[in-house]
Amino acid sequence: MPVTVRPSSRTAESWENRRDQSETKYTHATSADQLLSCTVTNDGESSCSPDLGGTREGKPRPGRRPLIQSSFASLNRANSTTFATKNGFVHTSIEAYNEHHHLVLRPEDVWFAILTQLSVYVNANADNLQHRLVTPPSSTTAPAPGQKEALHIDVPLAGLDHGLLAYQMAKLLSTRLQDPSLLDFILPTFSTTTKADQTVASVILLGTMQKYFTYSWGTRCGIPSVTLLGEADDWDEMAARCADRLGAGDFGAAPARWYYRLLGPVLAGFVETFRDPDGRAARQFWKGIVDRHTPDGSGRVTYSGWITAFCYWDERGRCLHDNTGGGGGGQQQQLVEVELSRGEIPMGFIKVPVTLVDDGVAIPTEMVAGSVGMRVRRGRWDGYDTLQPESGWFMYHV
């Protein structure tokens, strides 16, 4: 059952009574189109203007990223408490810390943060990792030199569940990997996992391998308190997955350093929280999630704390942390932090090209999946005072 740790004696603040309404940096998304536009087009920290693909009324700008399908079909003005951000997990944690809101986390929120960071590293080091990850194609399926291997699923487009097709494509992709069980490593199977979560993880896997493959389907002739949801076994399993793959060096030395210097100690904190949520160790761990630094009370604001473990690489795969020290498998875990500005926080989602084929006509699209928003939730007594990261996926025309 879920556990709640109380790292601070502060009373939760209501979202409606934020200290400075001008500091509300995130756009209220009242449709799937607007959430997509504000997440992909900018960093989600300012209102979407028509020039950025959406309007303040939540209407998509005509001609901009026509949405095909998403996991946010029910999002509308009447029920939406979702705000767009390019990294739902990290930004939600920072907002909960800064504005004294309760924080609710699912295992999937943390897992997708790990996977998207690993994905940008793999893409930035695709040549060096290819022999570790991908099985050489047979002589009959080998692409031309310099070309990617094409993976295709033949299926009618009418009434298609593109989320399900992404999962099926991930299964097909796994047959071309050196270790097909990598699919099992990627896909969440926690007690809180939904069908949409399985799609998110599938798209992240496709994006992780996009330097080696192209994908198509169609027809060829397409924080006052922190509540951890789930069960203790979910968080134990996540820590074990990372130890078995990242700590063991399956993805190379750099992800092993990430694990031993940062990720491993943080995951141990999640496990300890579930073991003893009222204990001193758990409270101290969550007090260290975020520290805000403002030099002399003004100037460039930076953030440190263990939340930066999920900001190890930027979107180009460049390490944001000091690479000195740390090490590979077998070394003692030691949490090493860094200070990052809000603008340096990497995106928490992955984009991957997918080609739909309608009677032989190629239709270029993209899929986006990951942590794309922040949901404001009603607390037990004090109105909307609780934040939770929002994960999901989109497919749109390009």
Specify whether the CB–CB gap between 204 and 115 falls below 8 A.
yes
CA 382 to CA 103: how far, in whole Å?
14
* Residue 363, pLDDT score: 95
CA 197 to CA 370: how far, in whole Å?
9
Q: Is the pLDDT of residue 328 over 60?
A: no
Q: Is the pLDDT of residue 59 over 50?
A: no
CA 24 to CA 22: how far, in whole Å?
5
Q: How confident is the model at residue 47 (pLDDT cuts 50, 70, 90)?
A: very low
pLDDT in tens, 71-103: 999 998 888 889 999 999 999 999 999 889 999
Mean pLDDT of 265-290: 94
In 3D, which of 140, 149, 274, 153 has the Cα closest to residue 214?
149
Q: How confident is the model at residue 62 (pLDDT cuts 50, 70, 90)?
A: very low
In 3-state terms, what secondary structure has residue 393?
strand
Phi then psi for residue 96, to 5 deg, are -60, -40
Q: What is the DSSP letter of 262?
A: I
CA 128 to CA 123: how far, in whole Å?
10
The domain ranges of the chain are 1-7+107-368
Q: How confident is the model at residue 49 (pLDDT cuts 50, 70, 90)?
A: very low
Q: What is the DSSP letter of 178?
A: S
Specify whether the CB–CB gap between 201 and 370 falls below 8 A.
no
Specify whether the CB–CB gap between 309 and 266 falls below 8 A.
yes
Pick the more confident residue, 14 or 52.
14
Q: What average pLDDT is seen over the chain?
A: 86
Q: Is the pLDDT of residue 353 over 70?
A: yes
